[in-house]
Amino acid sequence: MIRNLLFTLLIIVFSNMLFSCAGGGQKKDSAQKDELILPDSLKGDAPLKLSEEIIGDVIQNISSPVEMANLIKSTGVDFSQQILNNPESISNYSTSYKRALNLGVYSADLGYINSYDKSNIVVSYLLAVKSLADGIRVGQFFDFESLKRMATNSSNLDSLMQMSVSSFNQMDSYLRGQNRSNVSALIITGAWIEGLYIASNVIEKTNNEELIARLGEQKEIVDILYIILKNYEQNSNFKNLIGHIGEMKALFKDVKITKEVGEPKTIEQDGMLIIVQDEISHVDISPKDLGTIIEKIKEIRTYIVS
């Protein structure tokens, strides 16, 4: 359970992120001129804070789907489209850097939309993500028409999730194989921040204790993301993002997370019964720290979507 707890705010993201990115060929436009190519120092034997293999593993773990959407909905807060990024804003994202970040943002938005069964606005967000995915040349990994049909029918959620995760894994492997793991890092960061932003808005309305605990658990995630992003600080855009994430990391300093072993349980996996040992985390976060962290989340989110 601890992994589920840690990554909840990203769930909305990649379980539905991926139904966002859409099929389409490779797009040759101005995006290629500012393509996020890893510098030579990251391609050879130069020392890294994390290796490419480890970065890939972390990216896949962070994007593992968990149930967060239901938790947000269970607070009783009504759906609010106003807190989401306007799909018409895609015209503002003319660089690969901004497109990758906001691909993650719209993916998180799609998960939130789907959790409330707002099929009437799903397509406009799918189109926005399709445009961004094509803009960074990863749209070929997604069958947009199939995903659109599934997205407008909530009964297909499980199949949609499986298809989405599979598509993302293919895209991530391709990006890392092309020395573009920095693009995956940007997509994840955008999705993570947007998930936190949505949750923060709900926390401010409800003061929901479970959501507050989930936000506090992000102390471990921000540490990992900071290390990953530091691998790409040669890029001036990454320097700005790293600065923001570093400031956010510092705000979690006094958040305390303790863990205890939960009861073992039996689950079915690949036709076999296995016993798993869960961990339960307890989070201690002061109202003051919670407030400053939420304000920083809003600040980073504004930087990303502007």
Token digits of residue 78: 């009504």
Is residue 49 within a helix (H) or strand (E), and if so which, with residue range?
none
- The beta strands (E) that lie in 114-159 are given as none
- Give domain status of residue 261, yes or no: no
pLDDT at 90: 94
Read off φ and ψ for residue 30, nearest 5 degrees: -65, -15
Name the pTM for this structure.
0.76
- Residue 207: CA atoms inside 13 Å, Cβ hemisphere, count? 2
- Give domain status of residue 242, yes or no: yes
- Give domain status of residue 275, yes or no: no
pLDDT at 87: 94
Q: Which long-range contacts (CB under 8 A, 24 or more apart) does 295-300 make?
A: 296/244, 296/247, 296/248, 296/251, 297/193, 297/196, 297/197, 297/200, 297/248, 298/197, 298/200, 299/244, 300/193, 300/244, 300/245, 300/248
pLDDT at 16: 37
Can you give the pLDDT of all 306 residues of the chain as single tens digits? 333 333 333 333 333 333 333 333 344 444 345 556 544 444 433 334 455 565 555 555 554 334 556 678 888 899 999 999 999 999 999 999 999 999 889 888 887 887 787 878 878 888 888 888 888 888 776 666 766 666 666 555 556 555 555 666 666 667 766 667 788 889 889 988 998 999 999 999 999 998 999 899 889 889 888 988 988 888 888 999 999 999 999 999 999 998 777 667 777 666 677 776 666 778 999 999 999 999 999 999 999 999
pLDDT at 269: 63
When divided into structural domains, the chain yields a total of 1
- Give domain status of residue 270, yes or no: no
pLDDT at 50: 53
- Give domain status of residue 266, yes or no: no
Greatest Cα pair distance in the chain: 54
- Give domain status of residue 282, yes or no: no
Tell me the residue range of the domain where 100 lies.
Answer: 7-255+287-305
Contact indicator for 19, 119 with CB cutoff of 8 Å: no
- Give domain status of residue 111, yes or no: yes
- Give domain status of residue 201, yes or no: yes
Token digits of residue 103: 């691909």
Query: What is the rounded distance in angstroms from the CA atom of residue 20 to the CA atom of residue 11?
Result: 14
